[in-house]
Every structure is written in C-alpha cells, then in structure tokens.
Structure 1
Amino acid sequence: MSFFKLKKNGILLLDKPKGYSSNFVLQKVKKIFGAKKAGHSGSLDPLATGMLPICIGEATKFSTYLLNSNKHYQVIAKFGEKTSTLDSTGKIISIRSVNVSSSCIKNVLKEFVGEIYQIPPMYSAVKHKGLELYKYARKGIEINRKKRKIFIYDLKYVFYDKKILQLEVICSKGTYIRTLIDDLGERLGCGAHVTYLRRFQVGLFSKSKLVDLNTLYTYKKNKNKFVSNYLLNKLLMPMDSALSTFPTINLSSKNIYWFKLGRKIFSFINYSGLVRVTEGENKIFVGVGKNDKFGNLFPIRLISFNNSLKN
C-alpha cells in the first residue's frame, strides 16, 4: 500500500468537541479522509465531548457492533433546576429547593443500578413517524414515548457539593444520560439537569487512542503529502477492531472461495454464535459469520472484495 494515498477503510476514535453535533464532525472527518462512506456509531449530544467512533468505508458495515457496545461516561449534574432539554442548553422550566445529603444521594443511586426503564427525551434523534423527536419538540409538540429497557452496570458517586454532583456511569446501548440525571433529580424531589458530559469509552476502545479535530486539520495541512497521508493513516484503526471480542475462525483459501460466494462452510468449531472470519496464513479479515452448534459457518456480513485491498 502506498502511503501517498489515504486509507479508505478503518475506524477513527474522534474526541468530539463541545458545541457540535455528531453529524457535523462526521462530515468534517469524511472530507478530511476523502471518504465516500462514513458513519458514527453512537451519537453524542452537542453538549457532550469524548469518544465518537467514526467508521470509514467498509468499516461502516460493522458499526452496528459498536452501537451495541457498553459505554463509559463522566457526567456533572446541577440540582434544583429542570430544563426543557434535560441539559444546560435548554430553558429552565422549573426551580426547586435542594435539601439532599451525600448519603441520601448514594442510597438513591443504588436504585438506578441494574436493569431499569427510561423514556427517551423529546430532544433526541429517536424517530416518530419518520421524523426525529427533537423536530417535534422545537415546534412545542409533545409525543408519547414508550419506555425502553436499559442496563446500568455501574453508577459511581464521585463528588457532591452545593447542588453539583459528579458521577461515572457504565451503561448499555440506548442509555440517555440526560434522562438518567432527570430521573435522579425527580426521585430526589429537587430536579436536575446535565451541565457536563464526557464519554471515555465505547466497548473495549481505549481513550488513549482518541484524536481531536485540530490534530486532523494539522496533519491534513502538512505541505508534504507523503507525511500528511502517513500521519492520517496511522490514526485509523483496522476495520475489524470493532470485533475484538468475537472468536476468530480462520479459513483456508479453498473454503474462503465458497464462503465469499455466500455459501455455508463446515468449520469444525464447536461454538455457536457470531465470529470474526479471516483467511489464510496472514489471517486477512473477511467479515462476520455465524457458527451453529453443528459446526456450520454462515456468512453474515462480508467486506467488498473489490476494494478491500485498497485499505
């Protein structure tokens, strides 16, 4: 592969800046890499910062596995005020006195750990009849929303003083931290909203791999195209890094031929579930398959072999 060309397939762990939508920064990254296809896996509110995995090219086929991953957040909440958006970007719609102790907060937090239900906020990208809820909310229209089951794995008390509470949250996909804080404020009887939110982790991706937009622009503007493309390429993680927790089945060249044509292969593996599939001695990534208890391996999602080597 020539480093004079930018990679077209991979995953970038962008450190999303505050004040921008996830789609806005996605388009910036897409332009920097000259990508035809790109998508983020799990949007962040404009207020929020932190890890926003952006899948480029063929990696978009596997973004769903990141969407399903657990997330780790740091959040700061302010008690006594409820807002229209459940965070500090909205209008204050109620003010209440705050008379809660740290011990009371710690006890109530226990109620939110484990399997719980949330109602998605009106200011969200959840769709109703093909339209995002926030578009209804901007027109003052309230839509009835169904409760959704989520899972809070850990809710760590960090700091509380003068109406300000800091927490760390490890949660399942589909969790709205704004809703969690709003529900907590209601449970404590004082109301609350989010003033700061940062995502540390998505799945097993480390925050040490985060890169900000300024770094991308700096690398892109380097007058030496060789250096510019080399530096940008090094920031992209392999497109199968989203599947690091999956068992791997490596197929021979003979078997991979039929597998790529969409046929099942006998894997000889006593495992039932999704697997990462590779090919040959170099274990080149091919895609995702599903193995059944009888050792049959079925293709589920494969990379496009016409451009996979252009990665």
Structure 2
Amino acid sequence: MNEGLAARPRPANGGPDGVVLLDKPVGLSSNIALQKVRRLFGSRKAGHTGSLDPLASGLLPVCLGQATRFSGYLLGAAKGYRVTGRLGERTATGDVEGDVVERCAWEQLSRDDFVAVLPGFRGPILQVPPMYSALKQGGERLYKKARRGEVVERPAREVEIHGLELEAWTPPSFSLDVRCSKGTYIRTLVEDLARAAGSCAHVTALRRYAAGPYEHESMYTLEALEALAAESPERLAEVVLPIDSTVAGLPMVTLPAEAAHRLMQGQPVALGPEGDAGLVRVYSPAGFIGLGERGATGELRVKRLLGTCKV
C-alpha cells in the first residue's frame, strides 16, 4: 500500500506539508485538538479528516500545509472503532453525557442472543441520524434544536457496516469492533442493536483506531508531540507522514518528466489500455505531483495537483 510514497516536503516557512496521526484524548473537541497541533508545527493551514465527538478518543489524522488539498479523500474513507455500550438505559444523546430517557430490562439477554442480531446489521443498512448530531435541517444544526427540546423528522440514510464483531460481553456492558463507512453514527448503531436484541443501550466509551489507509501507523498524543517539540524541530518533524499517504490506497502511475509536465499544464496524457478507469496517484521522476483520473480509453487527466511540484 505504501509503495511510492514520497519524501516529506519541508518548506522554509509555513510549517511542514504532511499528515500527523493524533491520538485525540477524551474531553477535547476535534477542532481544539486540530488547532493545538497546528500551533505546535507552526502551520498556516491545517484540517482534520473527520471529527470525533469530545467523548471519543483515538485516531484523528491532521493534514498540514499542502496535505489539506487531499484531506477530502480521507473524509469519505472507511473507519474502524471499538465501542463499549451499556444495556438497560437509553439516553437523550446516545452516550453517557445525556439524561436517561428510557430504562429497559436486560437480564434476560445472553451472549448468544446478542450475537444473533449482529448479522442483520452487517452490510448496507439504513440509519436515522440522532437529534444530537451536527447535521443541518432548515439551516440549523440538529443538536441546537435538540437542546431546545425539539424533535424533528430525520430521513434515514444508507451507510455500510463492513465489519461488526462482539469483543466482550460482561452484562450490562458489552464491547464491539466496528468497521464502517463515512456517515455511520456509532451511537445509533449501539441503540439499534440493543433494540433488536430486546433491550436498550447507550455508548459509554468510543475509540477510533483506523481511518482510510491509516491503521497500523503510530499515533501520537498531544503530550508526546509537545515533548518532541521541546527536544527539537527535527524530532517533531519526524512524525509527519508524507502527503501521498492520504491517497495510498489508490493505484500508482509514474510518468516520464515530459508527460508529467504536460499533465501539470492541464493536458491529457495517454497511458494505454492497461489499468482500470478511476483515480490514480501520479508521480514524476521527482516524486508525487497529485491525483489524476484515468478514463476508460486510458487517457489520464489531472484531478488535483500539489501547489508546488517538480518534474
């Protein structure tokens, strides 16, 4: 997957270009965590690739500098979570921060009963987004309406659960490993699973461990990053992953210098019939230059380029 990944550009000003894998702590919003990382690296531009609720911890990829040009491709990537739920109580927010709004019996459920409902939630499913979410309706975030006590109709949305396994069963607590598509609400999934099993539940802990191509790479806490920054800028820079790690899952195309130059000027480049149509990561002899789109006839057109790149 990491074949062809380019070296990290090190601009003289404005901070590094690349990706930092932050281990976000519980209690901190994704935006505050992002700003702390941005300031540590002295970056003018930064963005994350899918927020985590303050209750949640774990992987928050932070794109710095030119890597923000490719952050959108991570927003739509699959995610991996480990979640702990508690049977017998449903809360207004779907997690421990909300008031209990329903109590249900759970003592009758066995591990086998709970496992039996899991297959029905694997693959494409429909979810009704929770009221406590950042989705907008009528130009206003749903959570703002919920805080006023309002409940409005929310259309169900299709999401995909790629993997769903019960990891621990210590009733009334249980833990799940979930791999899912963009837009999946883990709080809603836990509620729906418990309802299908004949009870109710809410989330007590949530941790993200994977996002797109990032899973086995090391994550860094804010404290660890601060310690590296205190050692030296060079030590801190060592944790920055290259820009093209954001699109490492795409096929790779390497062009001769002349063809790369033409592509960078907006001209199509003929690749031949080999290879499937779709997005590819493109390299010149000097390294990664951006993304292209291969057509059905093998013609490559530019999709998104680095702001500065060499051929």
User: Structure 2 length as normaliser, TM-score?
Assistant: 0.91
Query: C-alpha displacement at 1:286, in angstroms?
Result: 0.7
Distance 1:213 1:221 in 2: 12
Q: How far did residue 3 of structure 1 move?
A: 9.6
Q: CA offsets, 1:247-270, max 9 Å, x none?
A: 111122222222112222212352
Structure 2 residue 85 is matched with structure 1 residue 77: yes
Task: Give deviations 1:107-143, integer Å, cap 9, x for gaps.
Answer: 0111111111111111112222333221222222223
- 1:137 maps to amino acid: A
Which residue number in structure 1 is paired with residue 305 of structure 2? 302
The question of 1:273 aligning with 2:282 is answered no
Is the CA contact (8 Å cut-off) linking 2:87 and 2:194 kept in structure 1? yes
Residues 6 and 233 in structure 1, CA contact (< 8 A), matched pair in contact too: no
Aligned length: 300
Q: Distance in 1 between matches of 2:184 and 2:289?
A: 32
Matched, 1:65 2:69: no
Match of 1:153 in 2: 162
User: Secondary structure of 1:142's match?
Assistant: coil
Is 1:95 aligned to 2:78, yes or no?
no
1:291 corresponds to which residue?
294
Distance in 2 (CA, whole Å) between partners of 1:191 and 1:244 is 40
**Cα separation, 1, equivalents of 2:127 and 2:284:** 43
Secondary structure of the equivalent of 1:209? coil
Match of 1:16 in 2: 24
1:7 positional shift? 4.2
For residues 154-190 of structure 1, give each alpha carbon's deviation from its aligned partner in whole angstroms, at most 9, with x where no partner exists: 1111121231111111111111111100111222232
Task: Provide the identity percentage.
Answer: 39
Match of 1:47 among 33, 42, 55: 55
Q: Deviations for 1:50-91, whole angstroms, at most 9, x for unmatched residues?
A: 111111111111112212221111111000000011011111
| One-letter identity of the residue aligned with 1:176 | Y
**Pairwise mapping of residues 224-239 of structure 1 onto structure 2 (< 5 A)?**
228-239=232-243
Task: Provide closer, same or farther for how the CA distance between residues 130 and 38 of structure 1 changes in structure 2, counting only shifts above 3 A.
Answer: farther
State whether residues 271 and 299 of structure 2, in contact with CA within 8 Å, keep that contact through their aligned partners in structure 1: yes
Kept in 2: contact 1:4–1:230 (CA 8 A): no
Assess, with a 3 A threshold, how the Cα gap between structure 1 residues 8 and 127 changes in structure 2: closer, same or farther.
Answer: farther
Q: SS of 1:105's equivalent?
A: helix
State which drifts further: 9-18 or 258-267.
258-267
Displacement of 1:35 in angstroms is 1.4
Q: SS of the residue aligned with 1:111?
A: helix
Deviation at 1:27, TM superposition (A): 1.0
Structure 1 CA distance, aligned partners of 2:240 and 2:78? 21
Partner in structure 2 of residue 195 of structure 1 = 204
Q: What RMSD over aligned residues (CA atoms) do the two structures have, in Å?
A: 1.8
Q: Structure 1: which 4+ aligned runs deviate by more than 6 Å? A: 1-6
Residues of 1 paired with 2:297 and 2:217: CA distance? Answer: 41
Q: Structure 1 CA distance, aligned partners of 2:218 and 2:132?
A: 30
